[in-house]
Amino acid sequence: MTDRYCVFGNPVKHSKSPQIHAEFAHQTQQALEYTAEEAPVDGFAGAWRAFIDAGGRGANVTVPFKGDAFALCDTLSHRARRAGAVNTLILGGNGRTYGDTTDGIGLARDLAYHRVALMGKRILVVGAGGAVRGILEPLLDEQPSEIVVVNRTAAKAEQLASDFADLGSIRGGGFDTVNGTFDVVINGTSASLSGDLPPLPDTLFNANAWAYDMMYGSEPTVFLQWAGPRGAKLLDGLGMLVEQAAESFFLWRNVRPETASVREMLRQSLEFDAF
């Protein structure tokens, strides 16, 4: 019997997740079906229950349902509780729903894949929404010298830093508090989707610094287009997407897929779509 999995979102037709998990299933010889399911904005819990009733075993969750997924879980992983959000649902044998988040570990593994060292480094994280909350614990686990979180609403960044202060050196504030240079700058806002650029100083990057945008596209994002001429090495969020998917797949199937070939496949498909 083929097990069913899906990604819930709204909208969700653009999702690359079905393509990614089809590749994972093929390479690991797992019998599963993975689809994209658009849930009503005010009806996520009902959509999950209907999916279970139809034979569903697990799901990924994307915008705008990560908070809804968090709320419906019977059991949560430590990292999901920290993040206050869930992107991976697992139906247990007892019929209870287990929630986890793989976004942060996806980012950490993508940075490791590109040999971006974080230990002892100074990291700037732009944004203070759910996407950033999900990545802070894995970043702090790498023991950077400091993480600075900045946001248009300074109080949100300050609160976020306070929530994670027990894990390492982290502080938050508004854009006017950015000072000095950084080894890694991560754009965790959705500004790139609308072509907006966070108000960051031109003298932001150390020598050999990295600029990372959690968004991705067929062309470099506005943030990466800005960072490149200022001396940063550039990475987008496509690898993070693949790595977080691989971790979800492992949680469901207890087998870890290989990701390098899937990264390359997706990158080529993005370049093809650009023409």
85 is in an annotated binding site: no
- Give the relative orientation of helices 17-28 and 260-273 as an angle to the nearest 10 degrees: 140
Q: What is the CATH number of the domain that holds 7?
A: 3.40.50.10860
Q: Are residues 147 and 210 in the same domain?
A: yes
The pair of three-digit structure tokens given for residue 213, joined into one six-digit string: 């945008």
CATH of the domain at 145: 3.40.50.720
Query: What is the helix, strand, coil percentage profile of the chain, to 5?
Result: 40, 25, 35
Using DSSP, state whether 114 is helix, strand or coil.
Answer: coil
Give the pLDDT confidence of 186-207 residue by residue, as tens digits: 999 988 777 889 999 999 999 9
pTM of the model: 0.93
Q: Do 230 and 134 have their domain in common?
A: yes
Q: Cα 126 from chain centroid?
A: 14
Q: Is 84 annotated as a binding residue?
A: no
User: Can you give the residue range of the structural domain that contains 69?
Assistant: 3-100+239-273
∠ CA 264-266-270, rounded to 5°: 115
Same domain, 221 and 259: no
State yes or no: 62 annotated in a binding site: yes
Distances (CA, A) of 66 to 16, 59, 129, 134, 223: 17, 11, 12, 11, 25
Asked whether residue 75 is marked as a ligand-binding residue, the answer is no
Q: What is the number of domains present in the chain?
A: 2
- Tell me which of 13, 66, 121, 233 is the catalytic residue: 66
pLDDT digits (tens, 9 = 90+) for 8-48: 999 999 899 999 999 999 999 999 999 999 999 999 999 99
Judge if 217 and 248 occupy the same domain.
no
Residues 257 and 206 in one domain: no
In this predicted model, what pLDDT tens digit does every residue of 38-75 receive, in sequence order?
999 999 999 999 999 999 999 999 989 999 999 999 99
233 is catalytic: no
